[in-house]
């Protein structure tokens, strides 16, 4: 709420006073009616013949600081500010489709029901006024209470400032105290001054990534004034460099994001493949189960997508781990030491799981709702913003990785797993129950696949083919990184993600993927044991 | 393509044209000559300034405690491990350090590993057939036929190894001792000039040991044989000349009696061994 | 060429060829000689279906050659099959001439649709049958040669090899999906009209293709048997079971592997070339990893390292697939998946293993045949 009679004062003190006053005024019917009268007068002034008078009236409305001014001017711009023919009262048409239009009182905001369009008179405007209104509207937002609104308004003004507006802006600058808003206002002013041929203005614009500023600078670089053109050109070059840097950072971010997905998908495999020498082709389907767990959780907890996602982290792990144990007990334990047969059998399991989901749930994709705290993006600057869900998945991947490292390095299970990996017979002789270790390892690897599924559900649709599309990539990551080496998997996943994203802009998504595959195929010829080869039993693939 | 290149390489003498004996020049001395050989793994000297000479047709036993470098020495001779320093010559013509594993095998150095590895899905006869020293390139192998001479040779080895009755049995169902003999038989099929035999009697019964001793002493003369063995009784039964390795170098060399009376040997090896026995 | 003649002396090969020839003859006669209404008449649709099974059987034999005898589990043989198929498909496309929808004298419809103005260089020559048929062998052969040369030289074996063969076919699938590749993208090549001047829709051509598939299978089988029965075949088995040992005997294992791998890829290419005119289409789905791994299960079901087992497995599984997808399509993947698990866990030697067991019991006094009972010859 703002008060019509006081011009916005720059100090905090006045703000508080203003606030208090506005509260008071709201409770005082007398004051309210006084405001109404004033509003009526302002609107009356708008309904005149001459457009020049209308322009002045619009200025008056803006200067009035009336809280309803924004709504009036917007309605005027859209041709929705009209007068009832019978009593001449001002109304705003809320929906001008059909014959009967719902209207509300322009002064009180009360709904007046539907009125036939014939009973209304429109307050007309011309193109010049439209322009004036648009900049006026953005001006009004400059006075808005919220910082974001003022920032957005200031940003919109860049490149649209004219002589008249510049004076208002100068005044606004004096009173504005937020740095971000000030910066944008100054940029807007600088663009105006640049257009006027002021070389100094270029300095203010150097380094900005705003696209309107770049347009202005480009125009200025073609100016007749050699000094201006030269300065603008130099500014453009530096901006271009910054943009390149930002684009590089963005590619890196997307690469890391893709990499984190690859790492999540592959790390469970790195455990089952690397530690146990088991080729689990159903790994992708375990990921899929994790993703479906997230979906199911959200069905169970309608309206609380965030809680559901958090709960599905342990649930997804559990579901996939149990499925993993079932696979290990029913199939893999009978195929010890026959990796190729294991590969075939688990592939069969993957087909069954896929078809099971298709039959029981649906062959169609399911969408998992992204909780509010995970949507949106983190804005770094005008050219770079990081999507939050990817950021979360990246963090999640690192946490899962660190967790696994801890399990392998610091727990009894990790110790036993490493012992069994290095020398099964010896580990047995020392009293380690190798079968139990196998089950637990497989459950761990599968559970991590489930976690990958929970994370993936935030990035893609959940469908029966979800796992299939990741299995080859996962194997590539594990083989590239060096079987049985978790660090290798991390490095391989991240670097493959980045390579893919770097290639994509000039090769296209599909070709980039093909190139990465060919690269790995060739790489394996050079280093058959991957980036970080492991020594020991599992290495004898 | 390598195969084509090989076929086009006309100045090469093909194996089937070459004389059956490998072209190793032993006129001027020993068949195997190792001088000042040193190998270290991560700072540990597995072989330390080793000097060893094997004469043509000799049967040599090499003994030494665990970690004396016996297996590493074999690895160097067969090209599996490259020494850090020293020289290894086969005859006077072939510098083994410049050659790869298959080339060395081709030259006539055969090696029997500790653990018997025969092709279990093939018969005894087929195992010997594969080991025969003939042209082993792809197309000649595809079109290969056994002639009478080859069959005779296989029969001869079957007799030597005592596996005549088992000739059409799958190698997978042979006893442990029979597998060892088959493997030695496969080595003989390659007509090696030098046979390296790693612990041939480990896990054998008394009778099997006797048969093995007969087999090996029968080979000496025609081939040079180097036997690495732990079993003292077995070594004594076949040895003419014994070399004792200790910490990667030769500690003593001579007849079994000479070696046994050497005080240094008694200290590091035989003493313990006789106590244990 | 005595090594090529050797298979004819084997009882198992004689039996196999006998059954195959009789089957070909019976189906042909029942199709051509009997009127359509006759209860024993075999419809042309069925003949084509059987022809498709036979080309799959040849593909399975090719896979068994490398998996069964060489121990190389190729999860990318579909790629060789598809390349052979594409070579044939390109020939058939060029045969359409100006009878396509757009009536362009040279360019296939999809190129006209994509506004290409001339034929890409790699489409040149495919209007000539001999060139196309040579490509059926060369395209998969060269790919196998290059891939195998790199892989075997650096001793990539076992699971690693399986995974990268899968990556190979996956990469090719993605590549062939792209319209820019010039192979019809997603839709592949289709709408074929004639082959060597024979109308592909006529019954006689279809029977001819069926017989050609049978003959190709017989020839492929004989070639494989000849390799397997030779000393080279024994080297294959030796390197399968103890690669280092074989190398130590002086065999260049990587070259043996390369030779057999290339032969197998070419056989797969021939199978693909016979498959395409019978089903009337070739598209990138033949490159899918699922298809390649499915071939392996045909072989596993039939029995590894027997060759005839691969034929039995291919025909049985594909017959089951035809039945299932007709009656209850959603159950097919359950059945296939279950088959993978059951065969590997319960029936590691496949159907051929069962048969051999039966034979051993019923004719244990008879002389051995093939490599199954070689051990009994003198004992």
| For residue C266, pLDDT beyond 70 | yes
Tokens 């039996």 belong to residue? C15
Apex A344 CA angle, A340 and A346, nearest 5: 110
Residue A180 lies inside a defined structural domain of this protein: no
Residue-wise pLDDT for B10-28, tens only, equals 444 444 444 444 466 666 6
Pairing of the two strands B59-63 and C194-195: unpaired
- Residue A514 in contact with residue A499, Cβ under 8 Å? no
What's the pLDDT tens digit per position in B87-101? 888 887 888 888 887
How far are the Cα atoms of B43, B242, C354 from residue B64, in angstroms, in the given order?
21, 10, 52
pLDDT digit string, tens, across residues C90-138:
999 888 888 878 888 888 888 888 888 888 888 888 888 899 999 999 9
Q: How confident is the model at residue C144 (pLDDT cuts 50, 70, 90)?
A: very high
Q: Answer yes or no: are the C-beta atoms of C184 and C283 closer than 8 Å.
A: yes
Domain that holds residue A528: 245-367+384-539
Contacts of C340 in chain A (CB under 8 A): 344-345, 347-349, 351
Domain assignment of residue C95, yes or no? yes
Q: What is the pLDDT of residue B235?
A: 85
Higher local confidence (pLDDT), B166 or C315: C315
**Residue C179: inside a domain:** yes
* Nearest to C341, CA basis, from C289, C305, C293, C297: C297
Nearest CA in chain A to C165: A521
Alpha-helix residue ranges (DSSP H) falling in A47-126? 51-64, 69-78
H-helix or E-strand containing A46? Answer: helix A29-46
Q: In angstroms, rounded to a whole number, what is the distance separating the alpha carbons of residues A191 and A185? A: 10
| Strands ordered across the beta sheet of A100-105 | A111-116, A100-105, A90-93, A81-84, A120-122
In a domain, C309, yes or no: no
Beta strand pairing status for A81-84 and A90-93? antiparallel
pLDDT at A26: 46
Please answer whether residues C369 and C11 qualify as being in contact, where contact means their C-beta atoms are separated by less than 8 angstroms: yes
Q: How far apart are CA B127 and CA B149, in angstroms?
A: 17
Of the candidates B1, B139, B168, which has its C-beta nearest C377's C-beta? B168
C131 in any annotated domain: yes
* pLDDT one-digit tens code per residue, B128-171: 888 887 888 888 888 888 888 888 888 888 888 888 888 888 88
Q: Does the residue C348 lie in any domain? A: no
Chain C residues whose beta carbon lies within 8 Å of the beta carbon of residue A339: 158-159
**Chain C meets chain B (3+ C-beta pairs below 8 A):** yes
DSSP H or E segment with residue A378: strand A377-381
Q: What pLDDT score was predicted for residue B18?
A: 43
Q: What is the 3-state secondary structure (H, E, C) of C118-148?
A: CCCHHHCCCCCHHHHHHHHHHHHHHHHHHHH
Distance, in angstroms, between A520 CA and closest chain C CA?
Answer: 8
Q: Reply yes or no on whether the pLDDT at C368 is more than 50.
A: no
CA–CA separation, C159 and B77 (whole Å):
32
What subunits make at least 3 CB pairs under 8 angstroms with C?
Answer: A, B
pLDDT at C156: 81
Residue C376 has pLDDT above 50, yes or no: no
What pLDDT is recorded for position B140?
81
Interface of C with A (CB under 8 A): 73, 147, 150-151, 153-160, 162-164, 166-168, 170-171, 174-175, 177-178, 289, 293, 296-297, 300, 330, 333-334, 336-341, 343-345, 348
Cα angle value C326/C327/C331 (rounded, 5°): 100
- H helices within chain B, ranges in order? 2-8, 70-77, 101-107, 124-131, 138-142, 148-161, 176-189, 206-219, 232-238, 256-261, 263-265, 271-276
Domain containing C118: what range? Answer: 2-289
- Tokens at residue B18, please? 């070459």
Q: Which two tokens mark A246? A: 């930002």
Is residue C328 included in any domain, yes or no?
A: no
What confidence score (pLDDT) does residue A538 get? Answer: 39
Q: Does C300 sit within 8 Å of A517, measured CB to CB?
A: no
Total of domains in chain A: 1
Fill in the DSSP letter of residue A273: I
Task: Return d(Cα C157, Cα B141) in angstroms, integer.
Answer: 22
Convert the pLDDT of each residue in B215-233 to its tens digit.
888 887 778 889 888 777 8
Judge whether residue C375 has pLDDT over 60.
Answer: no
Nearest to C241 among B105, B119, B126 (CB): B119
Has residue C305 been placed in a domain?
no
Q: Which residue segments constitute the domains of chain B, with CATH numbers given? A: 28-276 (3.40.50.300)
Q: What is the 3-state secondary structure (H, E, C) of C265-303?
A: HHHHHHHHHHHHHHHCEECHHHHCHHHHHHHHHHHHHHC
pLDDT for the residue A181: 77
Q: At what angle do helices C158-177 and A509-526 cross, to 10 degrees?
A: 160
Q: How many residues does chain A have?
A: 541
- DSSP-assigned letter for residue B69: S
The ranges of chain A with pLDDT < 70 are 1-37, 65, 138, 144-145, 164, 534-541
* In a domain? residue A408: yes
The number of domains in chain C is 1
Shortest Cα distance, chain B CAs vs residue C96, angstroms:
38
For B37-65, write each residue's pLDDT tens digit: 888 877 778 888 888 888 888 888 888 87
Residue A29: its pLDDT value, please? 44
Does any domain span residue C371? no
- Phi, psi at A148, each rounded to 5°: -60, -45
CA torsion C116-C121-C127-C129 (nearest 10°) is -150
End-to-end CA gap in chain C? 32
Whichever domain contains A258, its CATH number is 1.10.3470
Interchain pair C249, B190: CB under 8 A:
yes
User: Mean pLDDT over residues B244-257, rounded?
Assistant: 85
The CA distance from A154 to A148, in Å, is 10
ipTM score of complex: 0.84
DSSP label at B28? T
Q: What is the pLDDT of residues C190-227, one digit of tens each?
A: 888 888 878 888 888 888 999 999 999 999 999 999 99
Of the candidates A236, A249, A302, A297, the one whose C-alpha atom is nearest the C-alpha of residue A450 is: A297
Structure tokens at A514: 């093909």
Tens of pLDDT, residues C8-26: 888 888 888 999 999 999 9
Give every CB contact of residue B4 below 8 A, 6+ residues apart in sequence. none
In this structure, are residues A488 and A539 in contact, taking their beta carbons and an 8 Å threshold? no
| Four-residue CA torsion sign, B175, B178, B184, B190 | negative
């Amino acid at each position: 709420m703002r008060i019509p009679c006081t011009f916005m004062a720059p100090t905090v003190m006045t703000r508080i006073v203003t606030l208090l006053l506005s509260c008071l005024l709201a409770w005082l019917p007398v004051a309210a009616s006084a405001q109404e009268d004033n509003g009526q007068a302002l609107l009356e002034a708008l309904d005149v013949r001459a457009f020049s008078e209308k322009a002045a009236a619009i200025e008056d409305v803006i200067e009035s600081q009336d809280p309803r001014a924004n709504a009036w001017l917007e309605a005027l711009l859209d041709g929705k500010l009209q007068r009832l023919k019978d009593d001449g009262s001002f109304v705003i048409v809320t929906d001008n489709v059909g014959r009967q239009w719902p209207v509300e009182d322009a002064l009180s905001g009360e709904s007046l029901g539907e009125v036939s369009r014939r009973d209304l008179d429109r307050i007309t405007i011309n193109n010049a006024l439209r322009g004036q209104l648009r900049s006026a509207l953005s001006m009004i937002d400059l006075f808005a209470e919220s910082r974001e609104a003022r920032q957005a308004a200031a940003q919109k003004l860049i490149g649209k400032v004219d002589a008249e507006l510049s004076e208002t802006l100068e005044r606004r600058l004096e009173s504005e105290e937020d740095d971000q808003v000030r910066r944008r206002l100054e940029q807007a002013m600088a663009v105006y001054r640049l257009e006027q041929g002021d070389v100094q203005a270029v300095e203010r614009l150097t380094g900005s990534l705003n696209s309107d500023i770049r347009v202005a600078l480009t125009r200025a670089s073609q100016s007749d004034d050699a000094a201006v053109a030269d300065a603008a050109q130099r500014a453009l070059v530096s901006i271009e460099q910054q943009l390149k840097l930002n684009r590089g950072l963005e590619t890196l971010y997307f690469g890391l994001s893709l990499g984190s997905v690859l790492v999540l998908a592959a790390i469970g495999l790195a455990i089952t493949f690397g530690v146990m020498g088991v080729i689990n082709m159903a790994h992708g389907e375990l990921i899929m189960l994790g993703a479906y767990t997230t979906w199911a959780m959200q069905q169970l907890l309608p309206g609380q997508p965030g809680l559901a996602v958090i709960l599905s982290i342990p649930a997804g792990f559990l579901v996939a781990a149990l499925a993993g144990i079932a696979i290990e007990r029913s199939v893999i334990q009978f195929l010890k030491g026959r990796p190729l047969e294991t590969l075939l059998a688990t592939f069969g399991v993957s087909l069954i799981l896929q078809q099971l989901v298709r039959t029981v749930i649906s062959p169609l994709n399911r969408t998992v709702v992204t909780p509010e705290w995970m949507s949106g993006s983190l804005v770094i600057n005008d050219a770079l913003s990081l999507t939050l869900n990817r950021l979360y998945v990246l963090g999640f991947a690192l946490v899962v990785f660190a967790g696994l490292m801890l399990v392998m390095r610091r727990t009894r299970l990790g110790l036993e797993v490493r012992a069994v990996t290095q020398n099964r017979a010896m580990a047995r002789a020392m009293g380690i129950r190798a079968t139990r270790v196998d089950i637990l390892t497989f459950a761990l690897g599968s559970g991590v696949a489930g976690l990958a599924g929970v994370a993936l559900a935030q990035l893609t649709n959940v469908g029966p083919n979800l796992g299939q599309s990741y299995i080859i990539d996962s194997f590539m990551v594990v083989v590239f990184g060096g079987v049985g080496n978790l660090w290798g998997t991390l490095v391989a996943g991240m670097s493959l993600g980045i390579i893919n994203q770097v290639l994509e802009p000039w090769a296209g998504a599909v070709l980039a993927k093909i190139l990465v595959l060919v690269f790995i195929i060739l790489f394996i010829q050079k280093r058959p044991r991957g980036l970080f080869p492991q020594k020991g039993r599992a290495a004898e693939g | 393509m390598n195969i084509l290149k090989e076929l086009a390489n006309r100045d090469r003498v093909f194996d089937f044209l070459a004389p059956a004996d490998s072209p190793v020049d032993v006129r001027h001395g020993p068949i195997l000559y190792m001088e000042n050989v040193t190998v270290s793994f991560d700072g540990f000297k597995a072989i330390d300034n080793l000097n060893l000479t094997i004469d043509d047709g000799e049967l040599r036993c090499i003994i030494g405690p665990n970690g004396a470098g016996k297996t590493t020495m074999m690895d160097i001779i067969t090209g599996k491990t490259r020494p850090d320093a020293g020289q290894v010559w086969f005859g006077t013509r072939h510098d083994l350090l410049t050659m790869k594993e298959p080339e060395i095998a081709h030259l006539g150095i055969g090696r029997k590993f500790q653990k018997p590895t025969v092709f279990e899905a093939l018969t005894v006869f087929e195992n010997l057939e594969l080991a025969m020293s003939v042209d082993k390139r792809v197309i000649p192998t595809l079109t290969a036929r056994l002639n009478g001479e080859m069959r005779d040779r296989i029969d001869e080895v079957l007799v030597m190894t005592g596996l005549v009755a088992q000739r059409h049995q799958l190698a997978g169902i042979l006893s442990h001792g029979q597998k060892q003999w088959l493997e030695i038989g496969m080595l003989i099929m390659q007509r090696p000039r030098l046979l390296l035999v790693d612990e041939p009697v480990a896990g054998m019964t008394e009778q099997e040991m006797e048969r093995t001793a007969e087999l090996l002493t029968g080979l000496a003369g025609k081939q040079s044989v180097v036997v690495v063995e732990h079993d003292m009784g077995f070594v004594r039964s076949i040895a003419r000349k014994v070399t004792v390795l200790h910490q990667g170098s030769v500690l003593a060399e001579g007849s079994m009696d000479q070696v046994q009376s050497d005080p240094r040997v008694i200290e590091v090896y035989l003493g313990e061994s006789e106590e244990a026995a | 060429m005595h090594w090529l003649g050797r298979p004819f002396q084997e009882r198992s090969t004689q039996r196999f060829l006998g059954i195959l020839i009789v089957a070909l003859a019976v189906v042909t006669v029942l199709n051509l000689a009997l009127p359509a209404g006759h209860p024993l008449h075999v419809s042309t649709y069925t003949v084509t279906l059987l022809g498709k099974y036979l080309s799959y059987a040849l593909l399975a034999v090719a896979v068994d050659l490398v998996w069964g005898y060489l121990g190389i589990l190729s999860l990318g043989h579909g790629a060789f099959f598809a390349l052979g198929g594409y070579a044939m498909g390109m020939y058939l496309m060029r045969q359409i001439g100006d009878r396509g929808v757009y009536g362009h004298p040279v360019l296939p419809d999809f190129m006209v649709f994509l506004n290409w103005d001339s034929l890409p260089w790699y489409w040149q020559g495919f209007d000539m049958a001999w060139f196309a048929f040579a490509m059926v062998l060369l395209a998969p052969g060269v790919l196998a040669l290059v891939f195998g040369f790199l892989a075997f030289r650096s001793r990539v074996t076992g699971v690693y090899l399986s995974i990268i063969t899968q990556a190979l076919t996956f990469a090719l699938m993605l590549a062939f999906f792209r319209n820019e590749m010039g192979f019809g993208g997603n839709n592949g090549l289709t709408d074929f009209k004639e082959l060597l001047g024979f109308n592909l829709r006529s019954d006689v051509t279809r029977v001819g293709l069926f017989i050609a598939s049978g003959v190709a299978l017989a020839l492929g089988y004989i070639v494989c048997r000849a390799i397997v029965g030779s000393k080279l075949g024994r080297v294959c088995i030796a390197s399968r079971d103890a690669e280092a040992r074989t190398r130590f005997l002086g065999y260049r294992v990587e070259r043996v592997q390369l030779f057999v791998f290339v032969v197998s890829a070419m056989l797969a290419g021939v199978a693909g070339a016979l498959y395409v005119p019978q089903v009337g289409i070739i598209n990138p789905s033949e490159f899918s990893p699922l298809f390649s791994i499915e071939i392996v299960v045909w072989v596993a079901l039939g029995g590894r390292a027997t060759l005839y087992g691969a034929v039995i497995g291919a025909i049985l599984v594909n017959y089951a697939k035809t039945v299932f997808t007709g009656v209850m399509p959603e159950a097919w993947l359950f059945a296939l998946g279950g088959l993978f698990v059951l065969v590997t866990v319960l029936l590691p030697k496949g159907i051929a293993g069962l048969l051999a067991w039966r034979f051993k019991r019923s004719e244990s006094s008879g002389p051995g045949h093939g490599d199954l009972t070689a051990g009994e010859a003198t004992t």
